[in-house]
Amino acid sequence: MAEPLFSVRGLKVALPDMTRKPLIGRAPLAEILKGLDFDLPKGSVTGIVGESGSGKSTLGRTLVRLIEPSAGAIHFEGRDIGHLSEAGLRPLRRDLQMIFQDPMSSLNPRHTIFTIIAAPLKQNGLGDRLKERVAEALQRVGLPQNFASRYRHELSGGQRQRVGIARALALSPKFVLADEIVSGLDVSTQAQILTLLEKLAAEMGLTVAFISHDLSVIRRLCQQVIVMREGRIVEMSATDALFENPKEAYTRDLLAAIPLPEIDADWLRPAASAPA
Amino acid sequence: MSACLDIRSLSAVLANGHRVLRSVSLTVEPGEVRALVGESGAGKTMIGKAVLGVLPKSVRIVEGEMLIEGEDLGRLDAKERRTLIGARTALIPQDPLTALNPSRRIGPQMTDRLVRILGWSSEKADRRIRQLLDEVQIRDPGRVLKCYPHELSGGMRQRVLIAAAFAAEPRLIVADEPTTALDVTVQKQILRLIAQLQRDHGTAILFVTHDLGVVAKISQKVSVLYAGKVVEEAETAALFAAPQHPYTRALMAATPRYTDPYASLKPVDDTVLAGLAAEIAATDQAWRPGHG
């Protein structure tokens, strides 16, 4: 088995709970992640699934160190990056990239696509041969070169998401966090983006954490799956094993709740699953 | 017996003349769920809005008729039309948080429509609302009625809106992507509730969705929409058994299923898109507003 890129042990994250903040004084802490242990093997695509509030996005953001854990270790290539300072993280930022859910809010409306893709290159000391590198990034995601001079609003949803992928991959990162990147797209566009990500991950040997609420998408794309609920890992295993033989009742409930595009008269019968 | 909703050859244009609905015809029979499925921009929400008489000002209906239980909306004046739509139809919206007023408690928001628009006494409205909250399996209606929207979960808010929609016994409900913002397990509960209430009350539903999975589970009939045109119309069971239009087949092929991980997950391909473009062009060629 390949050496893991990430090795996470006893990971806990607590964040201020603003809904319980008193008028004066600090908000009390709420524990979001309650002790997680897992590895992400090099070159693998790992699906992270869970319902809203399960902590899947917080986990992703902690892996790329946008959030500092309150306890536990995050070993990245053997080194604990859990409590590195911003300066200490600086050289790692290039390797830890992120594709966002909503390109409408993650692409600056005032910048051209060129500027958007070039910005992180400059930031990370890849400012030489900028034109070439941006051209290469656009080509990689299947966008024509003249898109470099366009703005966000001139692009379709799928094209915008391609720009998000181009920006993240232009840096040739070791790890990419993809947080619900297809959930706002039509099925046809979704199919294009998934096929593209699948191809690029294989070509570039990327390690990907793919956060999604959609188990059908995860089964298609990922080699292993982490099922989360209320800040804990419910079940974690190789994709085929998880789908063919889910061990936990919660995983089975999640699967049973997916409306497959096929006729099933019993699906809506109340007896079919736990009461509301 | 006339259809609950009968849309005949409805066309609509934007101010710039761009056609957004292309001679749409569909019916919803009493007590039946018809799904309206399509990708974003297909005009499915627009049809729902046309039925409810809440189209944005920029959209103009240029031909066609809409009949609710045999009454032609076009023959009524604005006030009569509003009264008819208010009495016989209701909406279950996509996003319960924006549909509810954040600064008012749930109770008055739910009873208002019954009291102000339908002229019920407030006691009668209150009784009715509590009965419906019970039907959508809200266990402590007293507490929920006193809550503000933000104090409820997404699933609870959607239950409240479903209860509100059924409260006035509408003949027709337009459900506009009512489960899109919800987690899958909550989505299943909500779909089950809608199906249950729909059966119990004999209500017809025009169910707008982009999700073929939801179509398969909730509807008896389905219209597939592309660029404001109905490209296929069928009984739901027949559509899934043997989709006729290439676009319908392409949509099905693009939809991932966890039970079939090795399917190719193909986007709608260029041949199908070219075929659709030709079909749309032919429709527009043959169409002269006012002579349809």
- Residues in A closer than 8 angstroms to B185, CB to CB, are 51, 253-254, 257
Secondary structure percentages of chain B, helix, strand, coil, to 5: 45, 20, 35
Strand partners, A36: A11
Cβ distance of A276 and B192 shorter than 8 Å: yes
Are B133 and B163 spatial neighbours (Cβ–Cβ below 8 Å)? Answer: yes
Q: Are B251 and B265 in contact (CB under 8 A)?
A: no
What's the rounded Cα separation, in Å, for the pair A12 and A34?
5
Both tokens of B153, joined, read: 């979960």
Kindly determine whether residue B185 and residue A186, on different chains, have CB atoms separated by under 8 Å.
no
Exposure string of A22-48, with b = 16+ CB inside 10 Å and e = fewer, is eeeeeeeeebbbeebebbbbbbbbbbb
- Whether B241 and chain A come into contact, CB under 8 Å, resolves to yes
Contact B217/A264, CB-based, under 8 Å? yes
Only one residue has tokens 């209860």, namely B163
Q: Find all residues with CB under 8 Å of A271, minimum gap 6, and list them.
A: none
Cα distance from B123 to chain A (closest Cα, Å)?
29
The ipTM (two decimal places) reads: 0.86
pLDDT given at position B289? 63
Give the containing element (helix H, strand E) for B212: helix B212-218
| Average pLDDT estimate for A165-171 | 96
Confidence class for position A269, pLDDT limits 50, 70, 90: confident
**pLDDT category, A1, cuts 50, 70, 90?**
low
Beta-sheet strand order (sheet of B89-92): B89-92, B172-176, B204-209, B33-37, B221-226, B229-235
> A192-235, pLDDT tens digit by residue?
999 999 999 999 999 999 999 999 999 999 999 999 999 999 99
A195/B265 CB distance under 8 A: yes
Is residue A103 within a helix (H) or strand (E), and if so which, with residue range?
helix A103-106
Angle value at C-alpha A64, between A211 and A38, nearest 5 degrees: 65
Cross-strand partners of B71: B68
Q: What is the pLDDT of residue A95?
A: 96
Please say whether the beta carbons of B174 and B209 come within 8 A: no
Is the CB of B217 less than 8 angstroms away from the CB of A276?
no
Q: Is B202 on the interface with A (CB under 8 A)?
A: no
From first to last of its 292 residues, chain B has per-residue pLDDT tens of: 689 999 999 999 998 888 999 999 999 999 999 999 999 889 999 999 999 999 999 999 999 999 999 999 999 999 999 999 999 999 999 887 788 999 999 999 999 888 987 889 999 999 999 999 999 999 899 999 999 999 998 889 999 999 999 998 999 999 999 998 889 999 999 999 999 999 999 999 999 999 999 999 999 999 999 999 999 999 999 999 999 999 999 999 999 999 988 777 889 999 999 999 999 999 888 887 654 4
Nearest-Cα residue of chain B relative to residue A264: B217
Q: How confident is the model at residue A272 (pLDDT cuts 50, 70, 90)?
A: very low
Contacts with B267 from chain A: Cβ below 8 Å = 188-189, 191-192, 195
The answer to whether residue B142 neighbours chain A at the CB level (below 8 Å) is: no
Token representation of residue A98: 């992120």
Strand A224-229's sheet: what is its strand order?
Answer: A96-99, A175-179, A207-212, A45-49, A224-229, A232-238
pTM: 0.91
pLDDT at B1: 67
DSSP B200: H
